[in-house]
C-alpha cells in the first residue's frame, strides 16, 4: 500500500469514527433525557379534536413544564380550548397554564404528576460553536432529536435570542436545546428555515419559573396588557435617538432606522418613458409579540414614498400624489373581536417652514386594556413637482406613547436644502 493510499484510508477511517462517535453521542443524549420532554396539545372542548400542538419539558419535581407562550396561547385566550400533555405511552393528561411571559414567548404549565426526573435550570457560559441537541415533536411525527450548533446571541435584535444552527420544525416549539451533559441552554421558539433556528435564552425561563411558585388563578388578560405596556415603555423610549437616523431622498430629509434592531430597505420605480418616478424607503422591526392566532403586538414600521414629476402638469401630479396618500397601507385587517375600528383625526400641520397634511388613526384592543394600534400618515405640501407620503405604524402601544411618538416622527421630516 502506497503512503498516499494509506493516508486516504486513515482519513476515511477517522471520519467514520467521528461520525460514529457523534451518532453515539446523540443516541446517548436522547436515551438519557427523552423522558423529560413531552408533547403538549390544545384540544377544542366541544369536539375533542386536536387544534394545535407543541412541546414542553419538565423542570420541577412537582411536574411543572416550560414551553412557549404561543404553544398554549389559545387555552389562555379562549375557554373553548383545554390543554393536555401526553406521557411516554401516549396517554393524555390534563395541564394548566400558571405563568406566562408574552414578551419572551414563554409559559409555565402545571401538571398533577410528580416527577423523579426533570431538568434543573441553571445559567452557564457556552462557547460559540458548541454542539447542542434540540428535542421536540416536529409535525406530530413523534419525539425527535436534532443536532445543532450554538452561535451566541443575535446582534441588533429587540428581544434576546440565541442563534441555533439546526432545523427547528413546527411542533418543536417549547422544547429544550441542551448540551450533552443535560444543561438546558435555551427553549426552541422559531425557525427561518435552512437550519436557521432561534432559542429563548434559559435565563428568561428561570426568571419565569421563579415567579410561578404561586399556583393561584391569574388574570391573564390584565397580565398580558401589563407585560406588553411595560415592554413598549422600554423600547419606544429608544426610537429616533440616534443623531444620524435620517436619510435624504429628493428634496426631503426623512427619518430612518429608529434603532439598531430595525432593518431598512429601499427601491425605486424609474421607467424611461414615464412622466414620474417613485422612490421607496421602509424600515421595520423583525420581532413581534404573539398574543393569539389572529393578533400580534410590538410591531413598529415606517415607510416613505417620494413622488417626483418628470413632466406631469400640476393637475395630473396633484391627482397622482393624492391617490398615493389615500392608499391604505396600515397594520392590516384584524377580527372585530380583537380590535375596534380605526378612529382618525385629520389636520394640516405647519412646522419649520413645512406644511403637511396629517392623518392620525388609532384602534383599541378589546381584550387588553390600555393597548392600541396607531398609524400616522403625512404628505408634504407646497412643491409642484415633488412630494412624499410618509407613514409610521405602531402596534400594542399606549395612546399617550402613540401621540408622543407621532409628534417626534413628524418633527424629523424636513426639506433637505431649505
Q: Which of 11-15, 105-109, 138-142, 186-190 has the lowest mean pLDDT?
A: 11-15
CA neighbor of 405 nearest in space, from 379, 381, 375: 375
Tell me which of 328 and 56 has the higher pLDDT. 56
Q: Has residue 8 got a pLDDT over 50?
A: no
Alpha helices for 237-372 (secondary structure H): 314-326
Q: Has residue 209 got a pLDDT over 90?
A: yes
Which tens digits make up the pLDDT trace of 230-275?
999 888 988 887 766 899 999 999 999 998 889 999 999 988 888 9
Which tens digits make up the pLDDT trace of 408-418?
999 999 998 76
Q: Has residue 152 got a pLDDT over 80?
A: yes
Q: Which of 22-26, 133-137, 267-271 has the lowest mean pLDDT?
A: 22-26
Q: How far apart are CA 392 and CA 410, in angstroms?
A: 9
CA neighbor of 150 nearest in space, from 175, 170, 179: 179
Please list, residue by residue across 194-227, b when 16 or more beta carbons sit within 10 angstroms of its beta carbon and e when fewer do. Answer: eeebbbbbbebbbebbeebeeeeebebeebbbeb
Over residues 92-118, the mean pLDDT reads 95
Q: Has residue 14 got a pLDDT over 70?
A: no
**Residue 47 neighbours by CB under 8 Å, 6+ apart:** none
Q: 0.85 exceeded by the pTM?
A: yes
**Domain spans of the chain?**
22-218, 229-415
CATH topology for the 22-218 domain = Thrombin, subunit H (2.40.10)
Band (pLDDT 50/70/90 cuts) for residue 331 is low
Tell me which of 127 and 237 has the higher pLDDT. 127
CA neighbor of 154 nearest in space, from 197, 123, 121, 187: 197
DSSP 8-state code for residue 183:
-
Q: Is 262 helix (H, G, I), strand (E, B) or coil?
A: strand
Q: Residue 327 in contact with residue 318, Cβ under 8 Å?
A: no
CA neighbours closer than 13 Å in the CB half-sphere of residue 353: 7
CA neighbor of 165 nearest in space, from 138, 134, 136, 137: 134
Q: In the prediction, which pLDDT does 5 show?
A: 45
**DSSP per-residue letters across 72-125:** HHHHHH-TTEEEEEE-TT--EEEEEEEEEETTTTEEEEE-S---SS--------
Band (pLDDT 50/70/90 cuts) for residue 216 is low
Over the chain, what is the mean pLDDT?
89
Which tens digits make up the pLDDT trace of 343-382?
999 999 998 889 999 999 999 999 999 999 999 999 999 8
Q: How far apart are CA 4 and CA 10, in angstroms?
A: 10
Please list, residue by residue across 282-318, b when 16 or more beta carbons sit within 10 angstroms of its beta carbon and e when fewer do. Answer: bbbbebbbbbbeebbbbbbbbbbbbbbbeebeeeebe
Q: In the prediction, which pLDDT does 218 show?
A: 66
Band (pLDDT 50/70/90 cuts) for residue 195 is confident
Over residues 339-345, the mean pLDDT reads 94
Secondary structure, 3-state, 211-257: HCCCCCCCCHHHHHHHHHHHHHHHHHCCCCCCCCCEEEECCEEEECC
Over residues 100-122, the mean pLDDT reads 95
Which tens digits make up the pLDDT trace of 55-95?
999 999 999 999 999 999 999 988 899 999 998 888 999 99
CA neighbor of 414 nearest in space, from 349, 347, 360, 351: 351
Q: Percent of the chain beyond pLDDT 90? A: 72
Q: In the prediction, which pLDDT does 353 show?
A: 85
Amino acid at each position: 500500500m502506497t503512503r498516499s493510499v494509506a493516508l486516504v484510508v486513515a482519513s476515511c477511517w477517522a471520519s467514520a469514527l467521528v461520525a460514529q462517535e457523534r451518532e453515539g453521542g446523540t443516541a446517548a443524549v436522547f436515551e438519557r433525557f427523552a423522558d423529560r420532554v413531552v408533547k403538549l396539545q390544545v384540544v377544542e372542548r366541544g369536539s375533542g379534536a386536536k387544534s394545535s400542538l407543541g412541546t414542553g419539558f419538565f423542570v420541577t419535581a412537582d411536574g411543572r413544564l416550560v414551553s412557549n407562550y404561543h404553544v398554549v396561547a389559545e387555552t389562555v385566550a379562549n375557554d373553548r380550548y383545554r390543554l393536555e400533555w401526553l406521557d411516554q405511552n401516549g396517554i393524555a393528561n390534563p395541564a394548566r397554564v400558571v405563568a406566562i411571559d408574552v414578551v419572551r414567548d414563554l409559559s409555565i404549565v402545571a401538571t398533577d404528576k410528580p416527577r423523579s426526573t426533570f431538568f434543573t435550570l441553571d445559567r452557564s457560559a457556552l462557547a460559540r460553536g458548541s454542539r447542542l441537541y434540540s428535542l421536540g415533536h416536529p409535525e406530530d411525527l413523534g419525539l425527535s432529536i436534532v443536532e445543532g450548533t450554538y452561535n451566541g446571541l443575535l446582534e441588533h435584535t429587540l428581544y434576546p435570542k440565541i442563534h441555533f444552527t439546526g432545523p427547528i420544525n413546527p411542533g418543536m416549539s417549547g422544547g429544550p436545546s441542551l448540551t450533552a451533559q443535560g444543561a438546558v441552554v435555551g427553549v426552541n421558539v422559531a425557525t427561518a428555515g435552512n437550519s436557521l433556528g432561534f432559542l429563548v435564552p434559559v435565563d428568561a425561563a428561570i426568571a419565569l419559573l421563579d415567579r410561578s411558585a404561586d399556583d393561584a388563578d391569574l388574570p391573564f388578560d390584565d397580565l398580558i396588557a401589563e407585560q406588553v405596556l411595560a415592554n413598549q415603555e422600554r423600547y419606544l423610549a429608544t426610537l429616533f435617538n440616534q443623531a444620524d437616523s435620517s436619510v435624504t431622498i429628493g428634496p426631503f430629509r426623512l427619518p430612518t432606522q429608529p434603532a439598531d434592531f430595525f432593518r431598512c430597505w429601499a427601491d425605486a420605480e424609474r421607467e424611461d418613458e414615464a412622466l414620474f418616478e417613485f422612490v421607496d424607503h421602509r424600515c421595520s422591526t423583525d420581532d413581534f409579540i404573539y398574543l393569539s392566532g389572529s393578533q400580534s403586538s410590538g410591531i413598529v414600521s415606517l415607510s416613505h414614498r417620494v413622488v417626483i414629476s418628470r413632466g406631469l402638469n400640476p393637475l395630473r401630479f396633484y391627482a397622482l400624489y393624492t391617490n398615493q396618500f389615500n392608499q391604505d397601507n396600515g397594520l392590516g385587517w384584524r377580527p372585530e373581536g380583537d380590535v375596534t375600528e380605526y378612529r382618525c383625526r385629520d389636520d394640516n400641520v405647519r412646522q419649520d417652514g413645512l406644511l403637511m397634511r396629517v392623518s392620525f388613526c388609532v384602534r383599541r384592543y378589546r381584550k387588553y386594556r390600555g393597548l392600541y394600534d396607531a398609524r400616522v400618515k403625512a404628505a408634504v405640501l407646497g412643491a409642484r413637482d415633488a412630494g412624499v407620503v410618509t407613514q409610521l405604524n405602531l402596534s400594542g402601544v399606549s395612546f399617550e406613547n402613540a401621540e408622543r411618538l407621532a409628534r417626534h416622527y413628524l418633527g424629523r421630516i424636513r426639506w433637505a436644502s431649505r
